[in-house]
């Protein structure tokens, strides 16, 4: 199967540049939010890109990471969760999203795992899918697609200190939780770091996700110099569901403008 390229864009102008470069999907984020990992865009940005001939996935994220002394990223207050729900409703009410095209929303909420008195116990440092809140957001997003973003990588990393990859369980628990919530796709690099560093774990995630009918979008450091190796080693063109890679394609992160040469280079590797 053909492999799609999804590009996160930061504002409408960046979206136009990406589409000119022939990307298949855009993940729409607020202008200037790249350092935060992407934040909820404005309705005006959606208004400007709604007629583009690509799938539009809207980031729903009220804030980026807090200070190290604060709670883990992707764990939100009641007020922040309420804002996420309101934002989904607001974008749907514009009537600009196209279900047939495959438009949707991107979000994710975690919760801390059980406390442990043993400082070496991996579960004392764990996090899990906030199933109640995520299920509510998936329901709010319908009939549009729901994508769980790289908050999943936090879950995968929870038992990285186990000696063998086959002994790790957090990734499977998280994946099953997301299936129960009703997510259509998961954006992941297979753990913290870059996708090219986590191919063994990604292979397991993709195999499990296929049995659950969930698309895995492979992201995290995907560039033209490694896109072919990633796709070949994960056999993405042979997978029914996981047929998309995700790359910011930025030559200069400060500008947040898509590098057309990077897009072209990745697309040539994807065939």
The number of beta carbons lying within 10 Å of the beta carbon of residue 128 is 18
Between 62 and 73, the more confident residue is 62
This prediction's pTM: 0.91
Higher-pLDDT residue of 243, 208: 208
DSSP of 228-253: HHHHHHHTGGG-SS--EEE---BS-T
| 250 neighbors 256 (Cβ within 8 angstroms) | yes
Domains held by the chain: number: 1
Give the distance, in angstroms, between the CA of residue 261 and the centroid of all CA atoms in the same chain: 23
Domain that holds residue 198: 4-270
Helix, strand or coil for residue 161? coil
Residue 71, pLDDT score: 52
- Mean pLDDT, range 56-76, rounded to an integer: 80
Average pLDDT over residues 205-222: 95
**Residue 119 pLDDT greater than 50, yes or no:** no
Q: Which residue bears the tokens 């199967």?
A: 1
Say whether pLDDT at 122 is over 60. Answer: no
Residues in the chain: 271
Contact between 266 and 5 under an 8 Å Cβ cutoff? The reply is yes
Rg (CA), the chain: 18
Q: What is the pLDDT of residue 123?
A: 41
Residue 232 belongs to domain with CATH number: 3.20.20.380
Mean residue pLDDT across the chain: 89
pLDDT higher than threshold 70 for residue 163? no
Confirm if 216 and 209 have CB atoms less than 8 A apart.
Answer: yes
Model confidence at 68, pLDDT cuts 50, 70, 90, reads low
- Between 2 and 155, the more confident residue is 155
User: Residue 250 — pLDDT band, cuts 50, 70, 90?
Assistant: confident
263 contacts 22 by C-beta, under 8 angstroms: yes
pLDDT band at 72 (very low <50, low <70, confident <90, very high): low
């Amino acid at each position: 199967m053909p492999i799609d390229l999804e590009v996160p864009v930061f504002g409408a102008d960046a979206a136009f540049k990406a589409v000119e470069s022939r990307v298949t999907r855009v993940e729409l984020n607020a202008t200037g939010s790249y350092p935060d990992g992407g934040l909820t865009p404005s309705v005006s940005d959606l208004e400007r890109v709604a007629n583009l001939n690509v799938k539009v996935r809207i980031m729903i994220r009220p804030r980026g990471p807090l200070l190290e002394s604060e709670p883990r990223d992707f764990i939100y207050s009641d007020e922040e969760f309420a804002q996420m729900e309101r934002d989904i409703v607001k974008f749907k009410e514009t009537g600009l999203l196209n279900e047939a095209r495959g438009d949707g929303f991107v979000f994710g909420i975690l919760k801390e795992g059980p406390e442990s008195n043993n400082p070496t116990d991996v579960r004392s440092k764990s996090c899990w899918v906030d199933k109640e809140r995520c299920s509510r957001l998936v329901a709010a997003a319908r009939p549009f697609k729901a994508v769980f973003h790289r908050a999943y990588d936090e879950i995968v990393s929870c038992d990285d200190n186990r000696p063998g990859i086959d002994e790790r369980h957090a990734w499977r628990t998280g994946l099953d939780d997301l299936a129960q919530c009703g997510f259509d796709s998961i954006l992941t690099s297979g753990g913290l770091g870059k996708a090219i560093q986590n191919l063994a774990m990604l292979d397991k995630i993709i195999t499990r996700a296929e049995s659950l009918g969930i698309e895995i979008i492979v992201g995290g450091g995907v560039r033209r110099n490694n896109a072919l190796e990633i796709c070949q080693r994960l056999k993405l063109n042979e997978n029914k569901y996981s047929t998309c890679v995700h790359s910011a394609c930025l030559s200069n992160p400060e500008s947040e403008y898509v590098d057309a040469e990077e897009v072209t280079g990745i697309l040539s590797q994807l065939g």
